Structure 1
Amino acid sequence: MTEISNRASGRVTRNDVARYAGVSSAVVSYVLNDSPKRVAPETRARVLEAVRVLRYRPNAAARALNRGSMEMLGLLVPDSRNPFFAELCHMAESVADDQGRALLVINVEGGTEGISRHVQSLASRQVDGLLIASYLSRGGVVAVDHAAIPTVLLNQFGPVDGLPTISVSFEVGARRGVEHLIEHGHEDIAFVGGGDPADGREIGWLRALTAAGLRPGRAVHSGFSPTEGYRAGRELLAGQRRPSAVFVASDYQAIGVIRAVHEAGLRMPEDIALVSFDGTPGAEFSWPPLTTVAQPMRAMVTEAIRQLIVPGALTAGPIEFPMTLVTRGSCGLDHGADQPAPPAG
């Protein structure tokens, strides 16, 4: 009768499980917490059967208090609707789960104030570590310092005050994408991107052209969305001099640029070729499929989470991962060939 009433009320306790299995509550704890103390296989089986029958759910808050850890990580992203950040969130959740951690994802709005507010909120929730994939200003660095949470930065344009940073060289990747277009005879190569002076993608575009002795093409700045990419593409094609190729700072923007090209009655890549940046899964399914400089998402996320959960693993500074140029139809090739971008320097 007690079992039925407890199950109905949803207040099944560890003691209920112990009584049902005919063991002490300490043994139940050993089994559920994977304690190093030995428990006979048949006893373990009885405990797990009791948990199943009674539908017992351990109190996560109590377990965290006992262990001194919430077993939870926080992730701040600028916009989880963006396929790059959606993939990052999915990958981070998968890797965290493999390590027995839950992941709390927060979209950041409001610049430095937004970062500071969310960092404080996650600190109050006692997360064990923090991943920040939004651009971190000086004010954000101060907020991280005050929170005193192990923190790793992702997707930054460069080193940030000695904080652990896992990223790629945006400049090196962009140069490789533009050089690919130059290798195929393009001389008038435009740029579509965010316009941040620190963004290495525009710097890489410019330096690749300069190194080849070519005049810089037109640069059109836009937000990181298909809508903004579409606007930038229309603006680019409305000029008196139409470029033969364009380097776009993200796959997400490139989708909008492609639409603008189609609506202008132009063919891609015959009339205008395109290379983008990020390597999101959807890039393969645009029309034409996108040639893109791909970031090694899983490797970067795995390293970031390793640094957060392994004692003493945090590094004081940046780690850069190499990228891969994936060639498809938007640049005139559809080989699916993977070519590593050369290292920085």
Structure 2
Amino acid sequence: MTRSPATPLPPPKARRRLRETAALTQTQLADRVGVTPATVRAWESGRTTPRGRKREAYAKLLKTLAEEETVRAPEPGPEPKLEPEAKPQPEPETKPQPEPQPQPQPQPQSQPQPVAAPEPVALTPAQAFDALYAFGAPALVRQTFLLTGRREQARESVERAFQAAWEHWPEVARDRDPVGWVRATAYEYALSPWQRLRPRHRHPEPPPADPGDRTLLNTLLRLPPRHRRTLVLYDGVGLDLPETAAETEASTPATANRLLRAREAVAGRLPALADPQVLHRRLAELASNERLRAAEPPTVRRGGERRARLRTRAAIAFTVALIGTTALTVRTAPTHYEPPVSPGQAVRGVPQRVAPGALSDEELELRQKLRDQVQDGPQRLSPRLE
């Protein structure tokens, strides 16, 4: 059984542009599609791709926005008027000239035949992943170091991001910006608040040797994570403002505000970096001065596959344990309702039980009283006719 082809969608940047051109917020578009605003941000950043009915509804809405944009486009202006052609003037009579004798034409030289370009060699998924890792891993490790200030954490974040890319390789391979997909995942893992709970976070790493690099790194680490990430993407990596907004899952005005505040904070402590060009150069120098290493691509792939196997086995073990617990509960559960035993009440007037022996005076008196009195109550009265 073959699957029907998925509905085509425009690139993530085009989706965001169509929404902003139609003056729609992410919340309004999410209400029209039937999803949450966070899902729309993920679609526009390219981190996730809609599927099923949501994909069809999203594609239909984008097609409608594109048609409305085409209708709103200005119509071409009127064609320029052509000036009237001048009337041809009669040419003066000339004497007939003798016809020129034909000159011998040179024989055309044989042109070289074009050499056919070699056909591209198809790469296996592992080879394509290794090529992507070799191309983007070193730069991503240096960029992540600017976010965290920790060398091992930066290396681990990039490796985890590439392992996630290997798990979703068909989707990442078809993405228009695979490095951006990995970069967003690495930044999310590096800036996760759960990193503070790790024992390694309690032991600081040695700072950079250069005092200027040390001051710049401390200034970056004092920024809020969102401002720091925006500054690194715009002034460090070199993305434009819409791309930075899409990757940080924020609106363009909010991203611009974060960038301005981050630049003000850096310039307040380091006035020499007030110029964006100088700041870009210093960020590149700070990332390049550190000796940051990255693992080999086969090691990363094998680590991701091993982690996936462990997660699969853990899920299977948890499912088996859940099934066993459910079966044991069904087996040992009562099949009928047993009312609880009511609590006991104290009975007054009855003497406590004692060891066998002679009765006391009170016990003798009580026994005699019980014998003398009628225990069955008064006799029944029968009605009589008068």
TM (norm. structure 2) is 0.23
Greater helix share, structure number: 2
User: Looking at CA atoms only, which structure, 1 or 2, has the larger radius of gyration?
Assistant: 2
Greater strand share, structure number: 1
